Amino acid sequence: MNLMHLPLRLHAGRIVFLRLEQLPAAQHMRAACPCGSTDSGWRVKSEPCEQLHTFVHLNAAWQRLACASHSPRMLADVIIALNALPADATRPTHPLPERWCGRDVRPWLGDPETRKKLTLLLAPHRRAAMRLLSQEFPHACESADVPFASASTTFLWLPWLRTRSLPWHATLEAATANLNRGFEPDREALIATLLHDGDHEWLLLLSRQPHAFQLPLLRTLVETRQHLRSAHADMHRLLETLRHITRPADYTRTARTCLLSLANGCTPRFLAHALRYHKQWKLEFQTQARPVHEPRRRQLRFVLQCAARKGLRRPEQIWKQATGLKEWSSAIQRLFAHPREKIVVEGILDALRHLERKRGKVARKWTNWLDRWDDTLREIESTPRAKRKLTMDFIDAWRVYPEHIAMTGHSVSQLLRWLARAREFEKHPGDDIPPMIEAIWARIEEEEDEALLRVPEKAWRQMQPALVGWSSRNNAVNGIYQMKNLPVGCITGMLLASPLEWARTMRRVGELDWREREVLCVAFREHPLTTCDIATTPLSHLIVLVDTIQSSHPRFPGVPDKLRSAAKLPEHVKAHYMEELARNIHRLRLAVLDDLAEWALRRRFPMLDEEGVVTHTLRVAAAAGEENRRPFRRLLRACAERRATREWSLSHPANQQWLLRLPQPSAEAWTQGFFIERDVPDIGPVHLGPEDDLQAILRMGTDFGTCLSAGSFNSFSTVANALDANKRVLYARDAQGRVWARQLVAIAESGHLVCFPIYARRHHATMRHLFAAYDHTLAHTLRMPLWRSYEQTATIVKLVCKEWYDDGIWQP
């Protein structure tokens, strides 16, 4: 046992052992200081050594000093006391008597002069005393120097300092004296904890702080256990910043956040900058993660004061970007080195915003883009102003949507090639096309990149009817991502053969569940038409294979008749018809993929009659999710039994109760409806009235590309429009039965007829006037006023379905 490494103290003539203990939270003092800190619960506890078995020899030596003698035992006991007790708080009032033998010399052992005197007087017994000490306390054989310190400091702090064998000096004396000004119950224990375990540089830093901030900072330091780490060189600057920009009431909370951020690896310089930034923009200062990059103030000011819209330069968002992206300041410096168009700045800031959201996944992606940052800016500058919107959409697609791979150097090069390709477009092909191009590029082999770049502009434009609405585009992208490990040229070949059918098929694949997409993709990869290589397969084998597949898809072209006698054809003519055959094979591949998508969809509903339930109804039911699941199941059973009519839906008890609340003439007029007919220019005679076929009502969004389309996020609402008695769907059809426009009308609880917006295939004034005339006539027939308030929302109850989407009113 090394007595120099034990926290011992002489208290009331007895040696006590000191230890630090934290009280339970229930025993803490409840009083809070003005800076927001509360009692930490740390206390200094003392136990008499005679009660501890470990200190039997020490206690025996102390008791023998009550009767001094001129002997080796006396010198050994004095050395033990000098090692165990640096000093006592009380000093003797008179010097040690000349005749000290037989007397109690313990009161004089704290006096440095008395220690020296006793050591010299007992020097003849030193060798024998060392032999005794080597048996009981080997470490006590070493000399025990008494540091120069005041009585109170020696009593309070030296026991803790001696446990680490560290020297005492005047700087620590002043620091502890400055910190120990107060009567809080945990102050002594916290300082002792810092001396016993922590880095002494913290003592010096804390002593320089104003008195009101010392104890809160000390409590926070021990609570976060940052006192165990070395203080950073710039810590004094952080503490000064913290003191000047923080209100006293928030000081403890902010200091704790700073210390936790230090534990995460932040530097004091970065935290001081973060404090000033959050204070300037009135942001809540939270625990900071270790920054990938420490931004510079000038570049932050560039972004925050630029002309971009406010949504792209929110202070909290810019801070996350600046600290999460490597070399962000350098990239921003180069971006604002020259005046740039607002659309360019907004496009790049939007891409950076989405990169910041996925910091861990896109580290390589951003690094590789940063390497080609100047090339990207040059490509943007060389693009004509009218085509920069397409350029920024390509950047947005390459930055935002890829979730499947880390951005590689090859993809950055490919992005630059598409930026150059954008200059060749005559006009913007549509906002949905760049994400589609990126998804295709992600699924094709590198040798197909040139073929994708050569896809004509008209092919991209032909996809637009299949990509109306965000959900349609998103489903198509999901379907493309699933088309992996296909033969080289399969995806681009199907795209070039029939762009519109290809986009629709990809959308249908994307509407499926991911497990269903996996099964579908495996089945498509193993299909004979997919695995056959058009260039190497003998023509006779191709003819047999294509004829077999085409027999079940008669609407698609098969083998050109000229190729059936190919031996008589010149080579250039044969090559022409082989190209036609390749296009036809790709179209048949699309037909096979579409059949597989319908097969995967119908596997989810094995008990339904395939003839009674159309595929579109299943698509809407599959995409409905949890909303209205039970009404959808009832509707599907009714469709399978061929009872999916308005009359069947009105038999529901909830609908019956609602109809009973209406006057009988109004209820009959509402359920039966009426039709009007009028000639519309460029269309012909149009028949307008309510729709009673429930499966046709479910198409109210798909036919017009709205958010109610199959696979879209609001498609669940179509079943409510079909099954609830207080809602009716009006269709305008031509002589061939084709739907040209539709409108939803409903009866509110206030007794008003609520008319919703009209969706038509064309913007036609005559069509709007026709619907307005019908709405007024219907309101007159029902004897109900029209709802005309835009400020208030009409209350339309949900009868059969639990969820319904309100599209907003339209005033006829």
pLDDT digits (tens, 9 = 90+) for 477-527: 999 988 988 998 999 999 999 999 999 999 999 989 889 999 999 999 999
Calculate mean pLDDT across residues 163-174.
79
Q: Which residues contact 793 (CB under 8 A, 6 or more apart)?
A: 806
Rounded (10°) angle between helices 433-443 and 470-482: 10
Give residue 3's pLDDT: 60
| Displacement of CA 362 from its chain's centroid (Å) | 13
CATH for 649-782, options being 3.10.450, 3.40.50, 3.40.630, 2.60.120: 3.40.630
Other CB atoms within a 10 A radius of the CB of residue 277 amount to 20
Query: How deeply is 776 buried, as exposed, middle or buried, from its count of CB atoms within 10 A (0-12, 13-18, 19+)?
Result: middle
Q: What angle do CA 176, 179, 180 make, to 5 degrees?
A: 85
What gap in Å lies between CA 655 and CA 658, rounded to an integer? 5
Q: Which two tokens stand for residue 95?
A: 């010097």
575-584: pLDDT as tens digits: 999 999 999 9
C-alpha distance from residue 137 to each of 4, 66, 86, 133 (Å) = 11, 20, 17, 5
Candidates 453, 536, 542, 458; CA nearest to 492 is 453
Give residue 89's pLDDT: 45
What gap in Å lies between CA 504 and CA 436, rounded to an integer? 12
Indicate if the pLDDT at residue 453 is higher than 60. yes
What gap in Å lies between CA 620 and CA 707, rounded to an integer? 12
What gap in Å lies between CA 467 and CA 470, rounded to an integer? 8
The model's confidence at residue 91, banded by pLDDT at 50, 70 and 90, is low
The model's confidence at residue 733, banded by pLDDT at 50, 70 and 90, is very high
Whether 620 and 710 have beta carbons less than 8 Å apart is answered as yes
Indicate if the pLDDT at residue 10 is higher than 90. no
Q: Which residues contact 637 (CB under 8 A, 6 or more apart)?
A: none
Q: Which amino acid is at 108?
A: W
683-711: pLDDT as tens digits: 889 999 999 999 999 999 888 888 888 88
Indicate if the pLDDT at residue 77 is higher than 90. no
Give residue 357's pLDDT: 53
What gap in Å lies between CA 732 and CA 691, rounded to an integer? 10
Give residue 403's pLDDT: 42
Q: Where are the domains of the chain?
A: 3-152, 429-604, 649-782
What gap in Å lies between CA 226 and CA 262, rounded to an integer? 8
Give residue 629's pLDDT: 83
The model's confidence at residue 268, banded by pLDDT at 50, 70 and 90, is very high
Calculate mean pLDDT across residues 14-25.
87
757-811: pLDDT as tens digits: 999 987 778 888 999 999 999 999 999 999 988 878 888 999 998 888 888 888 8
Give residue 636's pLDDT: 86
The model's confidence at residue 455, banded by pLDDT at 50, 70 and 90, is very high
Whether 652 and 799 have beta carbons less than 8 Å apart is answered as yes
Calculate mean pLDDT across residues 655-670.
92
Indicate if the pLDDT at residue 652 is higher than 80. yes
The model's confidence at residue 428, banded by pLDDT at 50, 70 and 90, is very high
Mean pLDDT (the chain, rounded) = 86
Percent of the chain with pLDDT over 70: 93
Region for residue 469 given its phi and psi (left: phi exceeds 0; alpha: psi -120 to 50; beta: otherwise) = left
List the 676-680 sheet strands across, edge first. Answer: 676-680, 684-690, 727-733, 739-747, 753-760
What gap in Å lies between CA 626 and CA 341, rounded to an integer? 45
Enclosing H/E stretch for 688: strand 684-690
Three-state secondary-structure class, residue 731: strand
- 221-225, 394-398, 643-647, 785-789: which is most confident: 221-225
Residue 756 phi/psi, 5-degree rounding, is -105, 170
Q: Which two tokens stand for residue 645?
A: 């009519």
Residue 202 phi/psi, 5-degree rounding, is -65, -35
209-222: pLDDT as tens digits: 999 999 999 999 99
DSSP per-residue codes, 579-625: HHHHHHHHHHHHHHHHHHHHHHHHTT-TTS-TTTS-HHHHHHHHT-T
What gap in Å lies between CA 552 and CA 532, rounded to an integer? 19
Give residue 323's pLDDT: 92
Q: Which amino acid is at 231?
A: A
Candidates 562, 601, 557; CA nearest to 578 is 562
Other CB atoms within a 10 A radius of the CB of residue 459 amount to 17
Query: What one-character DSSP code corresponds to residue 89?
Result: S
What gap in Å lies between CA 96 and CA 93, rounded to an integer? 10
Q: Which two tokens stand for residue 326?
A: 């490597």
Spell out where 121-207 has E strands: none
Give residue 149's pLDDT: 62
What gap in Å lies between CA 770 and CA 687, rounded to an integer? 10
Q: Which amino acid is at 55?
A: F
Three-state secondary-structure class, residue 799: coil
Enclosing H/E stretch for 37: none
The model's confidence at residue 2, banded by pLDDT at 50, 70 and 90, is low
What gap in Å lies between CA 216 and CA 259, rounded to an integer? 13
| Displacement of CA 485 from its chain's centroid (Å) | 30
What gap in Å lies between CA 217 and CA 226, rounded to an integer? 11
Candidates 133, 145, 137; CA nearest to 72 is 133
Candidates 52, 50, 74; CA nearest to 64 is 74
What gap in Å lies between CA 800 and CA 62, rounded to an integer? 91
> In terms of DSSP H, where are the helices of 231-387?
235-245, 251-263, 268-280, 297-304, 315-324, 328-335, 342-357, 363-371, 373-382
Q: What share of the chain is helix, strand, coil (3-state, %, to 5)?
A: 55, 5, 35
Bridge-based pairing state of the strands 727-733 and 684-690: antiparallel
Residue 744 phi/psi, 5-degree rounding, is -105, 135
What gap in Å lies between CA 141 and CA 123, rounded to an integer? 14
97-130: pLDDT as tens digits: 888 888 888 887 777 778 788 888 888 888 888 8
End-to-end CA distance of the chain: 97
What gap in Å lies between CA 186 and CA 197, rounded to an integer? 16
DSSP per-residue codes, 242-271: HHHHS-GGGHHHHHHHHHHHHHTT--HHHH
Specify the residue for token string 């942001």.
283
